[in-house]
């Protein structure tokens, strides 16, 4: 497999919001802006962006998964300033059109991240911003340690991602990649998602890995990455553990922001 063949879980994508799940971005938005959301999925965050920039703004969401784009189009039909289209992040055909170009949890599924960032940079206006939120999957932690069956699954999950060329610490590598893409004024903000037992969203947040096992299971078994028996054991042990012993889950995340150079003074 050289590119993402599975479909991201729409249950996970649909429940995200701009303010809860792309927390650095709202402060960078203002009415009338043009914004491109790369890897928009079902458009849950994209709809929040469209609301933030208002009717005088324009928002385009792109994703290479046609099924997700069709779902986004249905959910976003009431917003006249919002448009979705099928497109590959490494082959975008926009030139100097957007005030902000963003991608949330999308670069983690792209092998040629450099190509995607070059396209995103080219899509931004001079002086515009590129904003990326993503994971460091290799740095996620659970307290106490997960059961061995889940740990075995998670190790195979990371190895499968690496074999496909997907960076398991993409969030930490974004600043250097932004620099290579020619962006300036680069800054990074820690955006770890931590949930502690007793939090109102603890069950929802920790159930993520059940959904990952269910969603990726056929792909991993079909690709001989792991056996069905291991997946079932990982699912069963994780579910029992997270509802009894798990106290804290921390997903390592970062937001990186860079600015496209403004034109210099004419000679």
Q: What is the CATH number of the domain that holds 58?
A: 3.40.50.150
**pLDDT tens digits, residue range 208-217?**
999 999 999 9
C-alpha to C-alpha distance for 197 and 206, rounded to whole angstroms: 10
**1 falls within a domain:** no
**267 falls within a domain:** no
Do residues 136 and 254 make contact, with C-beta atoms less than 8 angstroms apart? yes
**109 falls within a domain:** yes
**pLDDT tens digits, residue range 254-267?**
999 999 998 765 55
**84 falls within a domain:** yes
Q: Sorting pLDDT into bands at 50, 70 and 90, what band is 8?
A: low
**pLDDT surpasses 90 at 44:** yes
**141 falls within a domain:** yes
Q: Which domain holds residue 196?
A: 10-259
**5 falls within a domain:** no
pLDDT for res 14: 81
**pLDDT tens digits, residue range 153-172?**
999 999 999 999 999 999 99
pTM of the complete model: 0.94
**265 falls within a domain:** no
**144 falls within a domain:** yes
Work out how many domains the chain is built from and give that number. 1
pLDDT for res 11: 67
């Amino acid at each position: 497999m050289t590119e993402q063949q599975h479909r991201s879980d729409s249950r996970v994508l649909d429940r995200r919001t701009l303010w809860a799940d792309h927390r650095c971005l709202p402060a960078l938005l203002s009415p009338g802006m043009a914004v491109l959301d790369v890897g928009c999925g079902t458009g849950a965050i994209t709809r929040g962006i469209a609301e933030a920039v208002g009717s005088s703004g324009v928002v385009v969401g792109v994703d290479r998964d046609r099924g997700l784009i069709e779902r986004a189009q249905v959910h976003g039909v009431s917003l006249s300033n919002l448009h979705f289209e099928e497109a590959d992040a490494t082959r975008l055909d926009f030139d100097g059109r957007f005030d902000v170009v963003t991608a949330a949890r999308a670069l983690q599924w792209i092998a040629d991240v450099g190509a995607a960032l070059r396209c995103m940079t080219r899509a931004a206006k001079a002086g515009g911003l590129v904003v990326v939120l993503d994971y460091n999957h290799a740095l996620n932690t659970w307290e106490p340690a997960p059961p061995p069956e889940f740990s075995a699954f998670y190790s195979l999950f990371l190895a499968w991602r690496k074999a496909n060329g997907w960076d398991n610490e993409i969030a930490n590598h974004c600043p250097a990649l932004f620099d290579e893409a020619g962006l300036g004024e680069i800054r990074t903000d820690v955006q770890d998602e931590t949930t502690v037992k007793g939090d109102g969203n603890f069950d929802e947040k920790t159930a993520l890995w059940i959904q990952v096992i269910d969603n990726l299971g056929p792909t991993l078994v079909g690709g001989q990455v792991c056996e069905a028996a291991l997946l079932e054991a990982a699912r069963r042990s994780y579910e029992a553990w997270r509802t009894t012993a798990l106290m804290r889950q921390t997903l390592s995340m970062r937001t990186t922001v860079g600015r496209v150079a403004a034109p210099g003074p004419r000679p």
